[in-house]
Structure 1
């Protein structure tokens, strides 16, 4: 039988279709096996682990068919030592089974840094050096001096600290600044819509202090306090344009967007 006749014969066609069916079956079984092996379409929610200790975080992850791994440690005074301060993927994400959640844990021992020379330099120079330490200026006090805006003393918890001393990284510092003339004034910034951190930085830049900090009932967690925004301040910048340097500004914070929007309208 010639090749042409064989190809067109019923036997060849029959076996050809059988081969196609077998290939289709093999492909189908292979794809199904891969889907089962990779849990195609199945995902698990990432639990919120922030604030938990490592054992609690591990248990929570296992309950959701996930694993945890500590990749870094920092010191954050807003969290208890040994608790989780950050996670990746974030809470409420959906991931495959056995995915590793990478954790940043709060150090048991706070990191310390050496205090550089902050006296006999300008306030702006001291501000830059303090920020480089990971710290902030909490309060500014003024003292009569022939040199205006010169740093005279550095205080921590009402105790003077000097160059070379070790302080906890992130500790806030108070500065005593020289004032060559009395009743110096600065523009009062409008803090509406600012977070607490943004407001504190802005007030420091304006040579002012953060006064009372009042959170409303919408603030329930540490995360809420970080995302909360200012809806009220005293003195009110609508009526007070300038105040004496070193004065304190009281602020009220909320997570209620409607309250914040109304504050913007009142200040127009």
Structure 2
């Protein structure tokens, strides 16, 4: 059969038309889906940490996304109103138009009241401080038969009376009793997050010594999520007196430390 006869055949013409229509349909559907999902237009989320809301809003507008403050906390050392956390995290890839949820630092800490800790064990006092929104500071041991029981509660070297109003997050030092031969062991802190490591140090009647962060730590949020890469004295070291200090070195690289 000649080419002219084939092209003139109505069956061939209908099949060819159907193929063309299917091709056009597929192209239109793909284009529509691309427009609806904005395929290929994902952008990295800016880092809003430490910025004011106006600065975060300007950065978000430039990136083609939006921001909204959904929560607030008080973080000592961070400017009032500054952004503390964000979801999704900085560097995450999102589509244009996505709303980023922000947590801002409150303008001032709330007021709390100092609990009465004298006569409490260290464990009881630590729990009570946490419930009251206060922070355990130095453990100061003095010779006394009431080992590991609170003799005084202090702030900046001065006694703090029970029910005294204090800003939330205030650091409170405890003076505790210690017999002459009362010792403790060094816990294994490797791989522990910062706050967890601090808790473990205090739970073993020890003080936090020097705290150092490597270059992977960029901001306050990084420091909270950081893990202990090394410590001194090391775990397994001979027993030490209660109140001794433990130095910790932290990193954001969670692949670096390895627990013994």
Coordinate RMSD, CA, aligned? 3.4
Measured in 1, the distance between the counterparts of 2:73 and 2:221 equals: 17
Q: CA deviation at 1:177?
A: 1.1
Query: Matched residues in 2 for 1:229 and 1:26: separation?
Result: 58
Give 1:4's aligned residue: none
Matching residue of 2:51: 52
Gaps of 5+ in 2: 1-12
d(CA) in 2 for partners of 1:154, 1:61: 46
Q: Kindly provide the CA deviation profile for residues 45-65 of structure 1, in whole angstroms up to 9, marking residues without a partner as x.
A: 211111211111001100111
Give 2:187's match in structure 1, choosing from 175, 186, 189: 189
Aligned-partner Cα distance in 2 for 1:83–1:22: 57
TM-score, normalised via structure 2 length: 0.79
The answer as to whether partners of 2:214 and 2:250 remain within 8 angstroms in 1 is: yes
Question: Within 2, Cα distance between the matches of 1:102 and 1:151?
Answer: 42
Deviation digits for residues 80-104 of structure 1 (CA, Å, limit 9, x no counterpart): 2211111112222222322211110
Q: Distance in 1 between matches of 2:93 and 2:254?
A: 28
Inter-partner Cα distance in structure 2 for 1:124 and 1:260: 29
Query: What is residue 242 of structure 1 aligned with on the other side?
Result: 239
Give the distance between the partners of 1:257 and 1:73, measured in 2 at CA. 28
Residues paired across the two proteins, number: 251
Alpha-carbon distance, 1:241 to partner: 1.7
How much does 1:134 deviate?
3.7
Aligned 8 A contact 2:155 2:173 in 1: yes
TM-score by length of 1: 0.77
Compute the displacement of 1:243 (Å).
0.6
* Equivalent position to 2:248, from 244, 247, 251: 251
1:99 is aligned to 2:94: no
Q: Deviation digits for residues 102-132 of structure 1, max 9, x if unmatched?
A: 1100111112222222112222211111122
Structure 1 match to 2:140: 141
Distance in 1 separating the partners of 2:219 and 2:170: 22
Asked whether the equivalents of residues 69 and 102 of structure 2 are also in contact (C-alpha less than 8 Å), the reply is yes
Structure 1: stretches of 5+ with no match in the other structure? 1-13
Asked if the contact 1:231–1:254 (Cα under 8 Å) also holds between the matched residues in 2, the reply is: no
Contact 2:227-2:254 at 8 Å conserved across structures: no
Q: Map 1:70-219 onto structure 2 (within 5 A).
A: 70-179=69-178, 181-216=179-214, 219=217
C-alpha change, 1:249 and 1:25, in structure 2 (3 Å) is closer
Could you tell me which residue of structure 1 aligns to residue 3 of structure 2?
none
Kept after mapping to 1: 8 A contact 2:38/2:95: yes
Q: How does 1:4-43 map to 2 (within 5 A)?
A: 32-33=31-32, 35-43=34-42
Is contact 1:195-1:230 (8 Å) kept? no
